[in-house]
Amino acid sequence: MKYNLNEILGAENKKPSTFAGLRSLLKLIEHEQKNLIIALIAILLNSTLNLLGPYLIGHTVDTYIVNKDYHGVWLYSGILLTMYLLALFTSYFQTKLMGGVGQRMLFTLRNAIFNKLQSLPVAFFNANKAGDLISRVNNDTDKINTFFSQSLMQFIGSIATMTGAGIFLLSINLKLGAATLVPGLMILIFTQIISPWVKKKNAANLKSTGGLSSEIQESLANFRVIIAFNRRDYFRDRFAKASLENYKTAVGAGLANNLFLPVSTLFSSLAQLIVLAYGIYLIAQNQFSVGLLVSYLAYSVNFYNPLRQLATLWTSFQVAMAGWDRVNQILALDTDLETSTDSEKEISGSFIEFRNVHFAYETGKDVLRNVSLEMERGKTYAFVGPTGGGKSTTAALLSRLYDPTSGIVFLDGKDIRQYTPSERAAKIGFILQEPFLFTGTVKENIVYGNEQYKDFSTAQFEKIIEENNLKGLLDIFENGLETMVSSSGESISLGQKQLIAFMRAVIRKPEVLILDEATANIDTVTEQLLQEILAKLPESTTRIIIAHRLNTIKDADVIFFVNSGEIIRAGSFQDALDLLMKGKRAS
C-alpha cells in the first residue's frame, strides 16, 4: 500500500464528487442528527417568518395605507414586529445550537484523525512530513468546523428563503416572476461551471499551507544544526520558497473565492431593474397594484440577497470540502500490518527465525534478499556491518515495524503477524538509536505504556528500580525519578535519553531485548554499568545488539555480518573484525 499523501491527493481522477464527500462527512456526525433536525426546524421557521413579511407589507399598503386606515396600519405593524422578533430568536437559537454541533464535530474529527494516525505503520510517517500532518489535523479540520458551525444552517436557510421567495414571485404574477428569476438561473449555471476550479484552487492553497508548516517544523527542529553550520541562508531560502508558493496559491484561492460575489451582485441588480420596469408597465396597464410591486421588490430582494450570501457560503463550502478531501485521505487509509487470524500458518522450531525474508522500502532497492537465520532463546546475538547494510532494518522487521516483502519472521515458533500489538510489545523490548521522550518526569517516561506500574508511587517504583538493578542508572539523574524531561529532550543529554529508554525497556522484562546502537552516546563507565545490568537479566532473555563499537559485541554468543542484502554468520569475533575492516563478505 502506498502511504504518500501527496501522491494520493494528486490523483484527481480518484477523488469523490463534492456531494459524495459531503455525505461521507455527515456520516461522521450522524450522532448529532437530533440537534441538526432541531436547528433545521428553527431555520425553516425563521425563513417562513421572514417570507411572510413582504406579503403582509403589500397587503397593508393596498388595504390600509391607500385607504388611510391607520388602525389597520398599527395592527399589522404590531404583527410584523412580533414576527421579526420571533425570527430573531429562532436565528439566535439555531446559531447557538450549530456552534455546539460544530465544536463537537471538530472534537470528533480530530480524534478520528489522531486515532487513525496511531493505527498506521511506520512507513506512513516515513512517506509524509510531520508539518503537513499537523496542518491537516489543525488547519484543515478548522476549515470544516467553520463551515458547519457558521455556514451550514445559513446555507440551508438561504436556500429555503430563495425557494419561498421564488414561489411567491411566481404565484403573484407568473410572467413577471419568470422574468425576475432568469438572472438567478444564470448565476446558478455560472456557479456550477466554476465550482470545480474554485475547489482545486483551495485544495492547492491548503496543500501549500501544509508544506509551509512542514518547512517551519523542520527548521525549528534542526535549529541547532543551522547555527552550528552557519547555514541560516539555506533554511531562509527554503522557507522563502515555501512561503512564496503559499502566497501564490493563497492569491489564486482568494481570487477564485471572491469571484462569486460580484457576479451575483450584477445579476441581482439586473433582476431588480426587470421588476421595476415590468412592474411599472403592469401598473400602467392596471394589471398590478402598488402594494404588490412593493411586495414584489421585497421578494426579489429576498431571493437575490440569499443568492449573494450563497456565493460567499459556497466559497466556505468549497474550502471545507477541499479540507475534507485532505483529511479523508488519512481516514481512508488502512494499515498493512493487521494481525493475522489464519490458524493454518506455518510454525518454526526456533525461538526466532527469518525464513526466506526479502525486504525493500517503497521506492528503494532490496535491503534484505532471501535471508534465513535462526536464534535461540536466552543467547546474545550481535549484528555488525557497514552503515546502510540493513542492521536496523533487520531489527525493525523483528519488532514488526515493517512486514517483509516476502518470507516469514517467526517469534517463539509462531508467525509474528499472528501476535496482537500488545502481545508483541510485551515480548519485545526495543531501544532505538534516537529514543523519543515525552514531556514529563523520568518516572513517567519509564512507565510509559506499562500498565503494571502506572499507579505506583515514586517510593514504590524506586523499589522496582532497585530490584531490576537499575539504581546506578537512576543516580545519574539529578532529581532521580522526578527529573523533568521536555519532549524535545533539550533538558537532558542524548546519552541520558538513551538511559531512560534502556530502563523503560528492561523494566518490562521482555523475552527479546533489541539494542539498536543503544550505547552510542554513553560514556565508557556508564556503558560498563549497562553491560552488568544486561548480564543480570533473566537467562531466558534473548539479547540482540546492533552496534559499531566492537567492545559492545565482543561477548556475544553469535555475531552476524550484515551487508549488501545478506546476513551471514561471521564466526568468531576476530572474523567479524576482519570482515568489517576489509569490507568483504564471508564466503
Q: If you count DSSP H runs as helices and E runs as strands, how many of each does the chain have, helices first?
A: 21, 12
What is the model's pLDDT at position 587? 36
Domains and CATH numbers, the chain: 5-331 (1.20.1560.10), 352-582 (3.40.50.300)
Per-residue pLDDT 10s for the chain (587 aa) are 566 666 655 544 445 556 666 777 777 777 777 887 888 888 888 888 888 877 777 778 777 777 777 788 888 888 888 888 988 888 888 777 777 777 788 888 888 888 888 888 877 887 777 778 888 888 888 888 887 777 777 777 788 888 888 888 888 888 888 888 888 888 878 877 887 888 788 888 888 887 888 777 777 767 766 777 677 777 788 888 888 888 888 888 888 877 777 887 788 788 878 878 877 888 888 877 777 777 777 878 888 888 777 767 777 787 888 888 888 888 888 877 788 776 566 787 889 999 999 998 876 678 899 999 999 999 989 888 887 788 888 988 998 888 898 999 999 989 999 998 888 888 998 887 777 788 888 898 888 878 888 888 888 888 988 888 888 888 888 888 888 887 655 667 777 888 888 888 888 889 999 988 776 667 777 777 787 888 888 889 999 988 766 667 777 888 888 888 888 887 777 777 777 666 544 43
**Which residues lie closer than 8 Å to 420 by C-beta, 6 or more apart?**
339
Beta strands in 41-175 (DSSP E): none
What is the model's pLDDT at position 336? 75
Residue 64 and residue 62: Cα distance in Å, rounded? 6
Q: What DSSP string describes 407-466?
A: EEEEETTEEGGGS-HHHHHHHEEEE-SS----SEEHHHHHSTT-GGGTT--HHHHHHHHH
Torsion sign over Cα 418, 421, 426, 432: positive
Instruction: Indicate the pTM of the whole model.
Output: 0.65
Phi then psi dihedrals of residue 230, to 5 deg: 50, 50
Residue 312 and residue 318: Cα distance in Å, rounded? 10
What is the model's pLDDT at position 18? 62
Phi then psi dihedrals of residue 560, to 5 deg: -105, 140
